């Protein structure tokens, strides 16, 4: 099961909307975690068909991240995470701030060694199992 992350303005009915779009396309949500940071909903989902899910949600004008790790860190700690990844031989190919406030930043990272990066960043990862 591959995961995608949807980033949208938080609003009443957002999850119902996303669920409806996926159900209409016969895509099952197998796991889900939602974080709200600074008015943004970050919806991390494991789907039965992540590629099709990404395509139908993007067609509905949602911002969708896939093939990335999503981390939650205190402001100013990304330098520490990047150094730790580098020390462990992981190259960051891209980094995108999804949401932030004065207490936390949620960042999407594309890396060359996903499994190794997941181990290094374990305590910072937003995953569908944690439900943080």
CATH number at 3-66: 3.30.2130.10
Secondary-structure breakdown of the chain: helix, strand, coil percentages, each rounded to the nearest 5: 30, 40, 35
Residues near 103 by Cβ (< 8 Å), separated by ≥ 6? 74, 75
pTM of the shown model: 0.75
| φ, ψ at 87 (rounded to 5°) | -60, -30
- Residues 36, 52 contacting (CB under 8 angstroms): no
Q: For residue range 20-42, list pLDDT tens digits in order.
A: 999 999 999 999 989 898 899 99
Domain chopping of the chain, boundaries: 3-66, 69-120
Q: For residue range 52-70, list pLDDT tens digits in order.
A: 999 999 999 999 988 889 8
């Amino acid at each position: 099961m591959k995961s995608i992350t949807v980033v949208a303005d938080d609003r009443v009915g957002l999850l119902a909307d996303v669920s409806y779009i996926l159900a209409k396309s016969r895509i099952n949500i197998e796991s889900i975690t939602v974080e709200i940071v600074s008015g943004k909903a970050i919806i991390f989902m494991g789907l039965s068909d992540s590629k099709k899910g990404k395509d139908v949600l993007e067609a509905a004008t949602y911002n969708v991240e896939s093939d990335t790790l999503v981390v939650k860190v205190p402001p100013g700690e990304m330098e520490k995470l990047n150094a730790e990844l580098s020390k462990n031989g992981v190259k960051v190919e891209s980094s995108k701030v999804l949401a932030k406030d004065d207490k936390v930043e949620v960042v999407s990272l594309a890396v060359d060694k996903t499994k190794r990066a997941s181990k290094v960043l374990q305590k910072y990862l937003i995953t569908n199992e944690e439900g943080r």
